[in-house]
Amino acid sequence: MERQILHVDVNNAFLSWTAVEMLKNGETIDIREIPAVIGGDEAQRKGVVLAKSMKAKQFGIVTGETLYSARKKCPQIKVYMGNHSMYKQYSDKLYNLLLEYTDEIERFSIDECFLDLTHFLRGESLINIAKEISKRVKEELKFTVNIGVANNKLLAKMASDFTKPDKVHTLYKEEIKTKMWVLPVSDLFMVGRKSIPKLEKMGIKTIGDLANKDINILIKQFGKHGKMMWEYANGIDNSEVIYKYTEPKCVGNSVTFPNDIDNIEKLEEILLALTEQVTYRLRKYNLLASVVNVQIKNNEFKVSSHQRKLSTSTSSTKIIYNTAKELLKQLYKGEYIRLIGVQVSELYKKDETQLSLFDTNTNEKQEKIDETLDKIKQKYGYETITRAGKLNIEKMFK
């Protein structure tokens, strides 16, 4: 089964996060829209540009140059101090949003993550999940990201570096020649500055030149690094998304629709697809949930939610969905809905939870059904089988 990988990279993270925080605190000017930079403490001779706005870039200001140099290029430049504790908070907000899509997330740096969605597509295409994440980050977190869509980490990262900001790019194997080989060799991930002059002396100026060079010549010149560069130029990368599992306090999923929906039956179908995703993750980590919460947001951005305590902790898709459907009926007043979400909480390890005597048979029957479906999904892919009937969320985003 081909892997389904996303690379999410925050656009101009430090400056964007500073701008969002300032606006939240009452500032009327968005520093992303003026010549502005994030810099070190000039008084302590740490006056270096850490991040710059697009307007600052137009003056020729580059990351890493001194603030003295930046001021010469643009006398009206606004300089703001960095705040790493605040950056960590915004990084965590992004991570928590991404957790709604997969548990398999590698935090590659404070402002970028790899996501493995191979078993978490819930019947959608990878490109549409990427578009949904991009939209939600912009609407809910107020900053933008670039997202690379591919079948391995290298190509996903390369794709996220294509035109910016606020873009979703694919880079599949069949697109390597047209999208990647035409780029200068310096754009290839892990090609260092010291290697570039040597490559150019060998007549290698583009990634395509590198990809078509005899690998043995590259190994003779660069050793193991030469082999790696050749493989990367040809889109070869078998590295795994390295993630650290931590016990969640809740598991949830939501979707923002490209077009508002006022049909309760359609909302119920989407709720079922979301519930399948949530309960699949519960069972994957041997967890049971005691509380179900459903949230909706209407076309006027009004958010409503209801939750209910279950009589017995469970990971059953049927039981949790039936509860969620009842909550949705209580919430829905016939208005146009732009977002729906389901979340479960008060989680317990399965072997730590004692089932009610009256619910044991029902739970065991549902568990066997769920376990059978999970095995099929793990072997053939999440989208192979679903109880969501005719629902195909992918079509909604076309």
Q: Which residues are catalytic?
A: 112
Q: Quick one: tokens of 146? A: 């670039």
Contacts of 311 (CB under 8 A, 6+ apart): 356, 359
Q: Is 292 exposed, middle or buried (0-12, 13-18, 19+ CB in 10 A)?
A: buried
The one-letter amino acid code at 314 reads: T
